[in-house]
């Protein structure tokens, strides 16, 4: 059907008498050019011709023999313009008769509707059914027929053919829609299964697959009476990298680690990301135990080359724990727990090693779990305390500030230094809450000294990389100052070089926000990171602290002395104060004085002391009490030196 036009219904007539074809044309075709008088005579002979439906019309094609008619139907269907119906004579010598013609016609076009036209009765209806089968596509019209019979048969069968065709198309469309939606649902189901059983970040199997593989391995090993191994791998210092360079860099690191580990495992092994920075390798088929350390060593070795993250070459390592079935456990939970215990034992002994499970390993792990539990309760129990190490003016010997250093007074183990619990606190996610307590307590103590000791001392507090990246750090500092009623100029924040240099642009924003509060900012462990001079010049910082590793041997190694001299010169050229930490001898102090270092701290003057002992120490200081570093130009806060900054002095 053409756009806006009537429906064209194609009709085929097969009869050996050409006159019959003309009769069908006169009955079914609308010929507007025919002679009116002749049409009237034909109407008398053929009967009244019904007017055609304005929405459709017939297009007639004819054949004198059955073979020719079947060929016409075949070509029409191939061209996509099939016949709706056919009028077929029963006798068409010398070719096929009507029945054979219908059989062949339905072979090439099973949808075509058929009207048998015959003046003879040699075939009864039962014989037609036996030859052609029961069908609703067949009518019998006996000659001579009335024109209205022809028109009614043509209209009814063509309408039926058209409706069936539309219905088939609709059904096909529905089938296509259903198939597409089914395919979409299958894809979604596959995606959901993938999400449920695989890690989104690395694409590796997750804990669900791990449990399934381990259960299969246990069942097979029990049946075949053989061993298999579980290797639990944990990245060393991952949290430091994640906190320093950001979660995006951490994700890239995990993806690279996953790719490298894929090249280590065998095709029969299962590599799983357990979660966080932990991976598991299930070696379900081993001939001897010696195969397992080989895989562990390869995994450690493949992680040694640096990984470039945000333009920085980062090196990582892994600690691996190994558990064997059945000697180290016969259940999934026990195997994983013992592999985990062995991993922690390896991590405690040295990074980048592997260790097999043993009974002593289990005891060590239980002790660690107990220690972690005690650490969680230490803050609420008030077991933390601050000790203060003096910062001394190199030239005058005057003490005007102190660094607050945390200690844990453990009820069983006594006084613990930060190195004994801070790494575990970092792994447990407690470092930020502990850092917040240190900040508040240091501000409170500084104010207390001002009130009761009449000593305007500045206190310095270390800020961890994760704490530095907290969106609440500025507000946390402001709250601590307000709670203690401490002037901001009496608080100094010490940040590691690595922390401030990772994502330098973000660091500038955070440092400027802190500087606007009026606090001082120091870069700690200077010389151990990867400072960019262009960024260092832009940072609103006040001091550089030279790392103790350079101070330790500067009197015996000219190279270290040259490095310290260069650092002092660089800092002073940027109008920054320089603090040397770890000063333990008079010779070191003398050299620092010669090099022009501004301040120092270390055992040569005093170790870190509890608040009361620190008070007694500074009470012996004969220098007149004054606010530390009162000269505004003595330090380098880019914001403080601006004319728009009010009331900030050093």
**Close Cβ partners of 537 (under 8 Å, ≥ 6 residues apart):** 574
The first and second tokens of residue 647, run together, are 């009331």
One domain for residues 352 and 408: no
The first and second tokens of residue 504, run together, are 């330098």
Q: How far apart are CA 99 and CA 344, in angstroms?
A: 90
Domain final residue, candidates 291, 322, 357: 357
Please provide the size of the chain in residues. Answer: 650
| CATH code for position 259 | 3.30.70.270
One domain for residues 407 and 333: no
One domain for residues 412 and 531: yes
Domain final residue, candidates 170, 191, 217: 170
Q: How far apart are CA 438 and CA 461, in angstroms?
A: 7
Q: Are strands 85-89 and 278-283 parallel, antiparallel or unpaired?
A: unpaired
Closest of 450, 347, 452 to residue 400, by C-alpha: 450
Q: How far apart are CA 217 and CA 270, in angstroms?
A: 11
Asked if residue 16 is part of any domain, the answer here is yes
One domain for residues 353 and 387: no
Residue 377 near residue 343, CB atoms below 8 Å: no
Burial of 123 from C-beta contacts in 10 A (0-12 / 13-18 / 19+): middle
Domain count, the chain: 3
Asked if residue 608 is part of any domain, the answer here is yes
Residue 356 near residue 322, CB atoms below 8 Å: yes
| CATH code for position 386 | 3.20.20.450
Q: How far apart are CA 490 and CA 509, in angstroms?
A: 22
One domain for residues 555 and 455: yes
Asked if residue 236 is part of any domain, the answer here is yes
Residue-level pLDDT at 230: 96
Residue-level pLDDT at 453: 66
Count the alpha carbons within 13 Å of 246 in the hemisphere toward its beta carbon. 14
One domain for residues 410 and 543: yes
User: Hey, how many other C-beta atoms are within 10 angstroms of the C-beta on 621?
Assistant: 15
Residue-level pLDDT at 624: 55
Q: How far apart are CA 489 and CA 156, in angstroms?
A: 101
Asked if residue 100 is part of any domain, the answer here is yes
Q: How far apart are CA 207 and CA 205, in angstroms?
A: 7
Would you call 405 helix, strand, or coil by DSSP? strand
* Phi and psi angles of residue 381, each rounded to the nearest 5 degrees, phi first: -80, -5
Q: How far apart are CA 410 and CA 438, in angstroms?
A: 17
Handedness of CA 189, 192, 197, 198 (dihedral sign): positive
The first and second tokens of residue 503, run together, are 């994502």
One domain for residues 313 and 386: no
Per-residue DSSP letter, 517: H
One domain for residues 399 and 332: no
CA distances from 488 to 360, 444, 611, 648 (A): 51, 12, 20, 9
Asked if residue 134 is part of any domain, the answer here is yes
SS3 for 41-75 is HHHHHHCCCCCCCCCEEEEEEEECCHHHHHHHHHH
User: DSSP string covering 525-550, please?
Assistant: EETSS---HHHHHHS---EEEE-HHH
Q: How far apart are CA 453 and CA 291, in angstroms?
A: 68
One domain for residues 285 and 413: no
| Owning domain of residue 499 | 382-634
Q: How far apart are CA 239 and CA 247, in angstroms?
A: 10
Residue-level pLDDT at 312: 81
One domain for residues 217 and 274: yes
SS3 for 288-330 is CCCHHHHHHHHHHHHCCCCEEECCEEECCEEEEEEEEECCCCC
One domain for residues 345 and 392: no
Mean pLDDT by 10 residues, the chain (650 residues): 70 93 87 47 46 68 95 95 94 90 94 87 71 85 87 92 92 89 81 82 92 94 92 89 82 94 92 93 90 94 90 88 92 92 85 85 69 87 95 91 94 91 84 92 93 81 85 90 94 85 79 91 74 69 88 90 91 91 94 94 94 88 57 42 36
Torsion of CA 592, 597, 600, 605, to 10 degrees: 40
**Number of H-type helices and E-type strands within the chain:** 23, 22
Asked if residue 189 is part of any domain, the answer here is no
Domain final residue, candidates 170, 194, 215: 170
Residue 527 near residue 552, CB atoms below 8 Å: no
Asked if residue 193 is part of any domain, the answer here is no
User: Hey, how many other C-beta atoms are within 10 angstroms of the C-beta on 59?
Assistant: 14
Residue-level pLDDT at 361: 64
| CATH code for position 115 | 3.40.50.2300
One domain for residues 576 and 471: yes
Asked if residue 34 is part of any domain, the answer here is yes
Assess whether the previous peptide bond of 513 is cis (omega < 30° from 0).
no
Distance from CA of residue 173 to its chain's centroid? Answer: 38
């Amino acid at each position: 059907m053409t756009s806006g036009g009537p429906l064209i219904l194609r009709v085929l007539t097969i009869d050996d008498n050409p006159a019959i074809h003309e009769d069908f044309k006169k009955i079914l075709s609308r010929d507007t050019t025919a002679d009116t008088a002749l049409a009237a005579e034909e109407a008398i002979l053929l009967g009244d011709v019904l007017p055609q439906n304005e929405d459709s019309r017939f297009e007639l094609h004819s054949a004198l023999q059955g073979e020719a008619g079947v060929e016409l139907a075949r070509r029409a269907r191939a061209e996509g313009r099939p016949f709706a119906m056919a009028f077929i004579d029963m006798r068409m010598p010398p070719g096929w008769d009507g029945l054979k013609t219908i059989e062949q016609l339905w072979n090439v076009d099973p949808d075509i509707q058929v009207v048998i036209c015959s003046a003879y009765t040699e075939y009864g209806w039962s014989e037609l059914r036996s030859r052609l089968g029961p069908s609703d596509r067949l009518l019998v019209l006996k000659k001579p027929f009335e024109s209205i019979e022809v028109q009614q048969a043509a209209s009814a069968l063509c309408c039926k053919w058209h409706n069936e065709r539309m219905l088939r198309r609709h059904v096909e469309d529905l089938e296509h829609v259903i198939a597409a939606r089914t395919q979409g649902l299958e894809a979604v189901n596959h995606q959901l299964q993938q999400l449920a059983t695989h890690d989104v970040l690395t694409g590796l199997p997750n804990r669900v697959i791990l449990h399934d593989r381990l259960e299969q391995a246990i069942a097979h090993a029990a049946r075949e009476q053989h061993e298999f191994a579980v290797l639990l791998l944990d990245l060393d210092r991952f949290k430091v990298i994640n906190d320093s360079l950001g979660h995006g860099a951490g994700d890239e690191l995990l993806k690279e680690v996953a790719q490298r580990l894929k090249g280590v495992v065998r095709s029969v092994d299962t590599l799983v990301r357990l979660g966080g920075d932990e991976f598991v390798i299930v070696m379900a088929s081993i001939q001897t135990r010696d195969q397992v350390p080989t895989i562990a060593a390869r995994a450690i070795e493949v992680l040694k080359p640096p990984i470039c993250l945000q333009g920085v070459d980062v090196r990582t390592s892994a600690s691996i724990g190994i558990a064997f079935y059945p000697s180290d456990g016969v259940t999934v939970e026990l195997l994983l727990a013992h592999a985990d215990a062995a991993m922690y034992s390896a991590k405690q002994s040295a990074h980048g090693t592997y260790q097999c499970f043993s009974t002593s390993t289990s005891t060590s792990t239980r002790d660690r779990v107990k220690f972690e539990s005690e650490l969680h309760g230490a803050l609420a129990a008030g077991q933390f305390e601050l000790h203060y190490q003096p910062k001394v003016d190199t030239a005058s010997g005057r003490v005007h500030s102190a660094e607050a250093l945390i200690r844990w007074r453990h009820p069983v183990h006594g006084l613990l230094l930060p190195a004994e619990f801070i790494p575990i606190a970092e792994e447990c996610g407690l470092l930020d809450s502990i850092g917040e307590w240190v900040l508040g307590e240091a501000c409170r103590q500084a104010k207390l000294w001002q009130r009761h000791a009449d000593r305007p001392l500045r206190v310095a507090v270390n800020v961890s990389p994760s704490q530095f990246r907290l969106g609440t750090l500025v507000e946390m500092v402001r709250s601590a100052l307000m709670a203690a009623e401490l002037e901001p100029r009496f608080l100094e924040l010490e940040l590691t070089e690595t922390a401030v240099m990772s994502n330098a642009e973000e660091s500038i924003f955070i440092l400027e926000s802190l500087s606007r509060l009026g606090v001082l900012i120091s870069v700690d462990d200077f010389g151990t990171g990867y400072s960019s001079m262009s960024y260092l010049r832009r940072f609103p910082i006040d001091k550089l602290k030279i790392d103790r590793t350079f101070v330790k041997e500067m009197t015996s190694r000219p190279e270290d002395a040259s490095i310290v001299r260069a650092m002092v010169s660089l800092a002073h050229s940027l109008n920054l104060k320089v603090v040397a930490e770890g000063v333990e001898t008079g010779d070191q102090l003398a050299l620092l004085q010669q090099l022009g270092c501004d301040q120092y701290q270390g055992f040569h003057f005093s170790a870190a002391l509890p608040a009361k002992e620190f008070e007694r120490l500074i009470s012996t200081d004969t220098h007149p009490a004054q606010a530390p570093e009162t000269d505004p130009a003595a330090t380098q806060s880019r914001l403080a030196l601006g004319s728009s900054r009010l009331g900030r002095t050093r």
